[in-house]
Amino acid sequence: MPVVQVPPAVLPAPVQARVRRTRWGAGSVEVKPGELDTHYGLWSSGHTGDARILGIPSGRELLRIPCFVPDALIGWGQTNESKEIMGTRPDGSLEYTVADTHHIHASYKDGIYDGKYAWVNDKINARLARFRLDYMICDKITKIPNIQGFHGIFPDKRDPVDPAINYTTRVFCGQEFHVPMPNKGADMTDNTKHHCLFTCVDAETMDVRWQARIDGNCDLIATSFDGKLAASNQYNTENGVLYPEMMSAERDACLFFNIARIEQAVKDGKFTTIGDSKVPVVDCTVEANKDPATALSVRVSVPKNPHGVNATPDGKYFICSGKLSPTATIIELQKVLDWFDGKLDDPDKSIIGEPEIGLGPLHTTFDGRGNAYTTLFLDSQVVKWNIDQAIKKYAGDKAINPVVHKLDVMYQPGHINATNAETIAADGIWMAVGNKFSKDRFLPVGPMHPENDQLVDISGDEMILAHDNAVRPEPHDFVIFKREWLQTKQVYALDDHPLALKDPKDAGVTREGKKVTVRMASIAPTYMPIEFTVKVGDEVTLILTNLDKVEDLTHGFAIPEYNVQFLVNPLETKSVTFKIDKPGVFWYYCTNFCHALHLEMRGRMIVEA
Ligand code: K7E
Ligand code: CUA
Ligand code: CA
């Protein structure tokens, strides 16, 4: 949808206000009955450990996608298929049942999203989950070895060397907390032996390709549109353990990685390994990378405990926020590449702007018209500022004020993102702001407050607050993009599962000793079979295929006293395995309203003593 720019100067003031509101692009936030949202939002969920799909501008939550932690609705963490993705202990129980998702990003092709994958991190247990966006399910989880406090992620946007690979093939992962390497009980109080790693995961196989040992830590990650650079802001260049130590330096850094050189070093065998891990680890510490001709990484200094690093949609700059400094730092990527090529003597000369924007700057987004929008945690504001003006000011024109507008938000904002803003096609229509506190914005619900996601119209000169949206704590990051970039499939294919029951005539029970396999079909309003008999001491594997192929015709399957409940969507197959330990009659039934005879959709598991 092109933004219609009506020149307001030629209109009377009251009309200007209306024109700006209704015709300057964004229009009404209301999505009327029968209408659809114009944009998808991918939201992390924080310590509920999953991800969410929102419609924008309505702000409606359309779906939660479980990944790291069990989900009672769909049976995630209970079905054999989901347990295999999540990882189990030898006794079959889940390896982890808690997670903390922060950063979610989607796969790229030609600088925009290709609608194929998205990834999210688990900060608690150092895992990376991948979502298939066609089915909107988690299909792989990778445990990152050797690290703790896995925080930032970002997919690359193309290959640094091969021009034919114009799409995502890597996901970069940052480690925030220093640990001994290996972390197996030695060097526990010797801080000099604690390190952080920057990790590269293969986007397709989800195998860990390589890691890079660094000084200081990683926080957020950004990648360049040309594929050549990835970077992490570092708030703890001091390698401190206590927060006063972490705040002792006036400037920390944005640490740049030269991806092509690192991968060449891995190919050339210039790496070590850590403990039992086979992952190649290259050396990206400061001391080892002083010579630009061979350096794998370089630090650009950023004032004090920066948080957030974001790539501008024109591909030219990375912007870091000061957090403890009231500034944003603009780093020109070509100049960083020039340093690696020996054409720039000091990496800090890649800094081409450092505007003062307000207190507690955290994250930045863009409108595609040259403006940046940064959250100010301490001021409870979003500041809109002009990147070119900030560059001109830094170059010497002190009279310039790059700040365009400030908007109060409610309250203490963290992440921020505008429509299409992480791509080359930022459209400057809507912007969402994730506020960590909501205080008085909603009906009181006791001590535990919701958070407040606010939507802002950024299509005009000034930002206009469009609506408040109470959210369950606590999403951190999110991306928003036009709905045309994502085509989902509404029905599974029977061949997606090797054990799908293709013909209801094959439904029934087979037994091998104490192992019983129940192959079952659901066709509204019945299961096939509607009765089966097992014995105490058996181990039952029940494989259920939903043979209804009508969109939206989802069935549930629950067994009382056996702790079984999961969903099967149209043509989906899932299985559960459980021990039989109680004799009696147990009505299995459909939990998901599917048909006029939904309540009649039930059958009996008869358990003989
Ligand atoms: Cu992305 Cu919340 Cu993990 Cu900033 S972090 S606010
Ligand atoms: Cu099937 Cu309700
Ligand atoms: Ca610091």
- Examine residue 564 and state whether it is found in any structural domain, yes or no: yes
- Examine residue 34 and state whether it is found in any structural domain, yes or no: no
* Whether the Cβ atoms of residue 485 and residue 110 lie closer than 8 Å to each other: no
Domain count for the chain, please give it.
Answer: 1
Residues with CB under 6 A from ligand 2: 524, 555, 590, 592-595, 598, 601
Task: Give the domain CATH number at 523.
Answer: 2.60.40.420
- Using CB atoms within 10 A of its CB, is residue 72 exposed (0-12), middle (13-18) or buried (19+)? exposed
For residue range 124-178, what is the model confidence (pLDDT) as tens digits? 999 999 999 999 999 999 999 999 999 999 999 999 999 999 999 999 999 999 9
- Examine residue 522 and state whether it is found in any structural domain, yes or no: yes
Q: Which numbered ligand comes closest to the C-alpha of 242? A: 3
Q: How many CB atoms lie within 10 A of CB 408?
A: 11
Atom of ligand 1 nearest to the CA of 123: 3
Q: Which two tokens stand for residue 50?
A: 């999953």
Does residue 607 surpass a pLDDT of 70? yes
Residue nearest to atom 1 of ligand 2 (CA): 555
Indicate if ligand 1 lies below 6 Å from the C-beta of 102.
yes
Taking CA 66 as the corner, what is the angle to CA 60 and CA 68, rounded to the nearest 5 degrees?
140
CA of 384 to the centre of ligand 1 (A): 20
Task: State which residues form the domain around 553.
Answer: 494-608
- pTM for the complete prediction? 0.94
- In the chain, count H helices and then E strands: 6, 40
* Whether the Cβ atoms of residue 94 and residue 87 lie closer than 8 Å to each other: yes
Q: So what's the pLDDT on residue 42? A: 98
Task: Please report, rounded to a whole number, the percentage of residues in the chain having pLDDT higher than 70.
Answer: 96
Beta strands 281-283; 478-482: pairing state: unpaired
- Examine residue 240 and state whether it is found in any structural domain, yes or no: no
CA of 152 to the centre of ligand 1 (A): 9
- Name the CA dihedral angle for 211, 215, 217, 219, rounded to a multiple of 10 degrees: -70
Atom of ligand 2 nearest to the CA of 525: 1
Does residue 8 surpass a pLDDT of 90? no
- Examine residue 48 and state whether it is found in any structural domain, yes or no: no
For residue range 59-78, what is the model confidence (pLDDT) as tens digits? 999 999 999 999 999 999 99
CA of 377 to the centre of ligand 3 (A): 18
- Examine residue 536 and state whether it is found in any structural domain, yes or no: yes
Indicate if ligand 1 lies below 6 Å from the C-beta of 476.
yes
Does residue 1 surpass a pLDDT of 90? no
Q: Which numbered ligand comes closest to the C-alpha of 592? A: 2
Q: Which two tokens stand for residue 479?
A: 């991306």
For residue range 510-557, what is the model confidence (pLDDT) as tens digits? 999 999 999 999 999 999 999 999 999 999 999 999 999 999 999 999
* Whether the Cβ atoms of residue 347 and residue 320 lie closer than 8 Å to each other: no
Does residue 14 surpass a pLDDT of 50? no
Q: So what's the pLDDT on residue 511? A: 98
Atom of ligand 2 nearest to the CA of 524: 1
Q: In 3D, which of 542, 546, 549, 537 has the Cα closest to residue 588?
A: 542
Q: Which numbered ligand comes closest to the C-alpha of 124? A: 1
- Examine residue 183 and state whether it is found in any structural domain, yes or no: no
Q: How many CB atoms lie within 10 A of CB 290?
A: 9
